[in-house]
Amino acid sequence: MSKLQPVRGTHDIVGDSASRHRHVIETARTVALRFGHQDIDPPIFEFTPVFARTMGEGSDVVRKEMYTFVDRGGDEVTLRPEFTAGICRALLSGGMRQDLPLKFFASGPAFRYERPQKGRLRQFNQIDVEIIGVEGPQADIEVVTLGAEVLRALGVAEACKLEINTLGDAESRSAYRAALVDYFSGHRDRLSEDSLDRLQRNPLRILDSKDEGDRELVANAPLMQEFLNVHSRDFFATVCDGLAASGVSYEVNQRLVRGLDYYTHTAFEFITDALGAQGAVIAGGRYDGLIEMLGGPPTPGIGWAGGIERLAMLLAAAPGGPRLIAVVPVGEAAQRQALVLAMRLRRAGFHVDQGYRGNVGRRMKRADRQGARAALILGEDELAKGVATLRDLDTGEQHEVDLEEVENQLRQLLAGDAAPP
């Protein structure tokens, strides 16, 4: 290999990207905690059946996209393609069912072997929210509302639109599945190869097909609403009413589906066209059958995942963090005192950088590149008088400060930055 490159479908998160990435996670976590969620951090890899059993052996993710390998102990494991199955496994193996209902927040990388494109990578990052153990529609309302609040807190809500649908209960879904099989079977000669494969295994996935011929057929396919029983209609009506009461705008998209068998009732996506082609930035639904598929008792659940890369791309600018204070020693004699001062300020809560080498000019240029707020200069004259020269790097003004008063002076300077205009 003549030139080192990241593996296709991966990227380095550094600088501006790192600031955006961190801001999305911290903002979402803050909102989730306000909704009563607790942190969970499941392993990045699980035994393969955790994902294969829940997502379906015949699903596209399991057949084409999972990173699966045999480890040195001979066990087949898979890098997580999503969070929900691992969190539900943790619920069962960790004996947490006795504490239901539970609300979780997670974030981190996931892995799928897909064709890389804008906002879609093979190693990507997600925020994830789950409510497990609540059977009624109040959980659906809360989960969707939480997603809307995350977008609002990030300042990107205006660029996104909520689409929502119902998949009905198991009875309704079964009737709808049969109707789809009957309809598409009458057009087998026009279906794409992938959709022919899905016809018996997972006909709802045909509704997601990007093939133009399939999409023409989908336009005239039966709608889920035609097969909803009374319970399913009432459940969805309650969800919609709750969103309206919470001030969350939405559109019903009757073609929005989730193809996996454990999904029931509410399915939703927050979508945007601000990134080019229209795509989801947050997507989720109710998965009342998933924990049962893992071998546990029937347990309701609902949640969503949000793509950190896509959300970060929507941000108007990288959020600025606390600005640095540069400690600049002049000469060898000041080096030790500068080290002592830098550590004292860090322990007091300030963000401090101390250049490692170079003259004053070079160290001040470094401070300028870092966007430092102020510099504390220590030279022979300052040491002799027990002071530091405090330079305001925004205005260029400077004055001497007693070393014992440095913290107070810096707090006053930074407090002025935070004061309203």
* pLDDT-derived band at 355, boundaries 50, 70, 90: confident
Q: Which CATH class is domain 16-169+229-314?
A: alpha beta
pLDDT at 208 (0 to 100): 79
Q: Which residue has the higher pLDDT, 346 or 61?
A: 346
pLDDT at 59 (0 to 100): 67
Judge whether residue 421 has pLDDT over 50: no
Q: Residue 14, class by beta-carbon neighbours within 10 Å (0-12 exposed, 13-18 middle, 19+ buried)?
A: exposed
Judge whether residue 286 has pLDDT over 90: yes
The mean pLDDT value for 172-177 works out to 91
- Asked if the peptide bond before residue 101 counts as cis, ω within 30 degrees of 0, the response is yes
Judge whether residue 245 has pLDDT over 90: yes
For residue 181, the surrounding DSSP H or E stretch is helix 170-185
Of 40, 116, 117, 123, whose CA–CA distance to 79 is shortest?
123
Question: Around Cβ 25, how many Cβ atoms within 10 Å?
Answer: 19
In the chain, the percentage of residues whose pLDDT exceeds 70 is: 96
For residue 92, the surrounding DSSP H or E stretch is helix 84-93
pLDDT at 261 (0 to 100): 67
- E strands in 168-300: 251-252, 264-272, 279-286
Per-residue model confidence as pLDDT tens digits over 359-371: 888 888 999 888 8
The mean pLDDT value for 376-393 works out to 94
Judge whether residue 158 has pLDDT over 80: yes
pLDDT at 327 (0 to 100): 95
* pLDDT-derived band at 418, boundaries 50, 70, 90: low
Give the whole-angstrom CA distance, residue 199 versus residue 174: 14
Q: Which residue has the higher pLDDT, 57 or 243?
A: 243
pLDDT at 80 (0 to 100): 96
Q: Are 178 and 293 in contact (CB under 8 A)?
A: no
pLDDT at 278 (0 to 100): 60
* 47 Cβ contact partners less than 8 Å away, ≥ 6 residues apart: 75, 76, 77, 78
The mean pLDDT value for 100-128 works out to 91
Q: Are 27 and 312 in contact (CB under 8 A)?
A: no
**Tokens 């059958």 correspond to what residue?**
289
pLDDT at 392 (0 to 100): 95
331-349 per-residue burial string, b: 16 or more CB within 10 A, e: under 16: eeebeebbeebbeebeeee
- Tell me how far the alpha carbon of residue 67 is from its chain's centroid: 20
Residue ranges matching CATH 3.40.50.800 in the chain:
325-413
Give the whole-angstrom CA distance, residue 127 versus residue 310: 11
Sign of CA dihedral 28, 33, 36, 39: positive
Residue ranges matching CATH 3.30.930.10 in the chain:
16-169+229-314
For residue 53, the surrounding DSSP H or E stretch is helix 49-55
Of 82, 84, 225, 95, whose CA–CA distance to 143 is shortest?
84
The mean pLDDT value for 100-109 works out to 97
* 273 Cβ contact partners less than 8 Å away, ≥ 6 residues apart: none
pLDDT at 295 (0 to 100): 92
- Across the strands, what pairs with 377? 328, 389
Asked which of 85-99, 240-254, 275-289 is least confident by mean pLDDT, the reply is 275-289
pLDDT at 44 (0 to 100): 97
Give the whole-angstrom CA distance, residue 371 versus residue 15: 13
pLDDT at 203 (0 to 100): 87
pLDDT at 259 (0 to 100): 64
Judge whether residue 3 has pLDDT over 80: no
| Helix runs in 110-156, H state only | 137-154
Candidate CATH numbers 3.90.79.10, 3.40.50.800, 3.30.430.20, 1.20.1250.20; the one for domain 325-413:
3.40.50.800
The mean pLDDT value for 282-304 works out to 94
The mean pLDDT value for 163-176 works out to 93
Distances, alpha carbon 12 to alpha carbons 5, 6, 398, in Å: 10, 8, 39
Judge whether residue 420 has pLDDT over 50: no
